Structure 1
Amino acid sequence: MSEASEASEAVEADRALKAKHRAMWALGDYPAVAAEVIPDLGPVLVRACGVRPGERVLDIAAGSGNAAVAAALAGADVVACDLTPELLEAGRRSAAERGAKLEWREADAEALPFADGEFDTVFSCVGIMFAPHHQVSADELVRVCRPGGTIGLLNWTPEGFIGRMFATMKPYAPPPPPGAQPPPLWGDPDHVRALLGDRVTDVDARRQPVRIDRFDRPEAFRDYFKSHYGPTIATYRAIAEDPDRVAALDRDLADLARRHDHGAGAGAGAGTTEMDWEYLLFTARKRG
């Protein structure tokens, strides 16, 4: 096969992979997850980045704008970009309801349509971690940040609840495409430092929990994610023709939530399920 043919096949494979990702995140209702389950995470990242009025801010893989809208309400000039247009449309509606003004752009985290050094602050809230090629997306993140600008990341850790959830779903899901890396690696501070290398300074990396008490029992968490969260929906679709495997995943996800439950219903099946979901909050400055 010629180099040109190999390059063409690689382009087509990447296009197909991105189409699959786009479709996955359009499943269910991720904007509801962001608004109902983890609404505080965006503001946490905005505060950690010290976003100020008038700053030019980019939110990569913004989804429906959990962080982008918070930055706009803080007075920044914000662009929210995401691969999935359905999420951007939901973000537009939410921003309008809250009186936030910002720009929404369809864009791939691995090929951002922005100039070098265009933004004062570049961040991502549980978004960029789902781009399949970590180094490529990290390079783009750094490229569009100005020298001396702020880089901020909030991602689920491998050891935390969502990292464990992906590990639980992995045996039931189709194998990832060649070269794709597990999303929760972005919650490993050593992995993120390696991705960014000596291009950043003033690194602050800390693991923090977010308290989740929306669900009255572990099965309610499972059923909510089965109907709302794209990766979980896609996993169930992959095994839909095998009732035994569906039942096994049902048990595994409920058991996962039960093991992490330290609320009033822990072990009793009543009351409120309370879980702490761990994330990595990572901030740095682009070296000048």
Structure 2
Amino acid sequence: MTDTQAAPATTTAAPATTAQADADRELKTRHRAMWASGDYPTLATDLIWELGPRVVAAADIRPGERVLDVGAGSGNAAIPAALRGATVVASDLAPELFDVGRRLATEAGAELEWREADAEALPFADDEFDVTLSTVGVMFAPHHERAADELIRVTAPGGRIALISWTPGGFIGQMFKAMKPYAPPLPEGAQPAPLWGDEQHVRDLFGERVTHVAATRQSVTVDRFDSAEAFRDYFKHRYGPTIAVYNRISGDPEQVRALDEALAELARSNGLDRPGAAMEWEYLLFTARVR
């Protein structure tokens, strides 16, 4: 109803809106705690740091440009962007990750700003940035349309968006599928994170608001682990989403054993079936220009 004068005094719209807002705040609080648990900065440095320079290169970031990294974590994209001479803001829902990022930036000789921010309600002005990036970050915002709308809103016309997201069929997408039976159901309106790695899904999110779309599937080689069990135990202690699932089933030893084996078998079936083997983790690199 658009005519507020026609609304009856007993309308239930406001309570429903308040309830939804409360649910969203609770969900974001849980997400922040999840990413603050474990040791994501170490994981990002050990396994996927190279994804940051890849997305920065794909975005063709230049000196003097204004750049926003959404879901920046400890800065594996924000720091390389700053080293190119850009003015960079690294934003994340979990500012607990920033201390490591600041240290890494100092060690690299990079200057940038760190801001706590919800990808679905970014605290920045319209058209504020020339380039907006995200490296396996924005994909974890639960409401995909809201996050996509915000990426468009804060990027200036003619500006670029560059995203790296794990694909549904790649290793991390498979890992989330393996954990799904042990995880709580998604809240109403939320969508699975690996959908951001589906090209058509991302095209649909942005629609006609972008041009010059390019989407390619690539992979990062992960050769740190000498066994499937070593991979599983590393993720059990360092990766927030995995920690959250194990915490949920911690009172059921049978479920813990089943998930232990599911994750180890997933690693074996993706290459960790012999000493010295490596895994290839597939992701979607998506770039576009805002109209």
Determine if the TM-score, normalized by the shorter chain, exceeds 0.5.
yes
Does residue 21 of structure 1 match 2:26? Answer: no
Residue in structure 1 matched with residue 136 of structure 2 by the alignment: 126
1:5-45 alpha-carbon deviations (Å, 9 max, x no partner): 11111111111010000000011000011101111000000
Q: Which amino acid in 2 is paired with 1:54?
A: G
C-alpha contact (below 8 Å) 1:218/1:273 kept by paired residues: no
Match of 1:278 in 2: 282
Larger Rg: 2
Query: When the two structures are superposed, what TM-score results if normalisation uses the length of structure 1?
Result: 0.96
Alignment partner of 1:3 is 2:7: no
SS at match of 1:31: helix
1:95 aligns with 2:99: no
Is 1:246–2:256 an aligned residue pair? yes
Matched, 1:35 2:45: yes
Q: Residue 5 of structure 2 corresponds to which residue in structure 1?
A: none
Instruction: Give the superposition deviation at 1:90.
Output: 2.1
Task: Write the letter of the residue equivalent to 2:33.
Answer: A
Contact residue 210 and residue 289 of structure 2 kept, 8 A: yes
Aligned residue number for residue 136 of structure 1: 146
| Partner Cα distance (2:220, 2:273) in 1 | 21
Q: Deviations over 1:184-224 (max 9, x none)?
A: 00000000000000000001100001110011111111000
Distance 1:74 1:247 in 2: 47
| Aligned-residue offset at 1:92 | 1.3
2:227 and 2:273 in contact (8 A); partners too: no
Q: Pairwise CA RMSD of aligned residues? A: 0.9
Asked if 1 retains the 8 angstrom alpha-carbon contact of 2:37 and 2:243, the reply is: yes
Within the candidate set 205, 219, 230, 1:220 is matched to 230
What does the per-residue CA deviation read over 1:157-183, in whole Å, with 9 as the maximum and x for residues that have no partner? 000000000000000111111111000
Question: What is the deviation of 1:273?
Answer: 3.0
Q: Alpha-carbon deviation of 1:88? A: 1.9
Query: How do 1:72-111 and structure 2 match up within 5 A?
Result: 72-111=82-121
SS in 2 for 1:122: strand
Distance 2:285 2:14 in 1: 42
Contact 1:161 1:260 in 2 (8 A): yes
**Does the aligned pair in 1 maintain the 2:71–2:137 contact within 8 Å?**
yes
Unmatched 5+ residue regions in structure 1? Answer: none
Q: Does 1:209 align with 2:209?
A: no
Q: 1:241-270: per-residue Cα shift (whole Å, max 9, x none)?
A: 000110010000000000010xxxx544xx
| Distance of 2:230 and 2:57 partners within structure 1 | 31
Identity, % of aligned positions: 63
Q: Within 1, Cα distance between the matches of 2:53 and 2:90?
A: 15
User: For residue 75 of structure 1, what is the amino acid of its counterpart?
Assistant: G
User: Is the deviation greater in 2-11 or in 150-159?
Assistant: 2-11
Letter paired with 2:236? K
The 2-side partners of 1:49 and 1:83 are apart by 23
How much has 1:93 moved relative to structure 2? 1.8
1:51 CA drift (Å): 0.5
1:122–1:152 Cα contact (<8 Å) kept: yes
Match of 2:207 among 197, 200, 207: 197
Mapped to 1, the partners of 2:239 and 2:50 lie a distance apart of: 18
CA distance, structure 2, for counterparts of residue 273 and residue 84 of structure 1: 33
- TM-score (structure 2 length as normaliser): 0.95
Corresponding residue for 2:62? Answer: 52
Number of residue pairs matched by the alignment: 281
Matching residue of 2:197 = 187
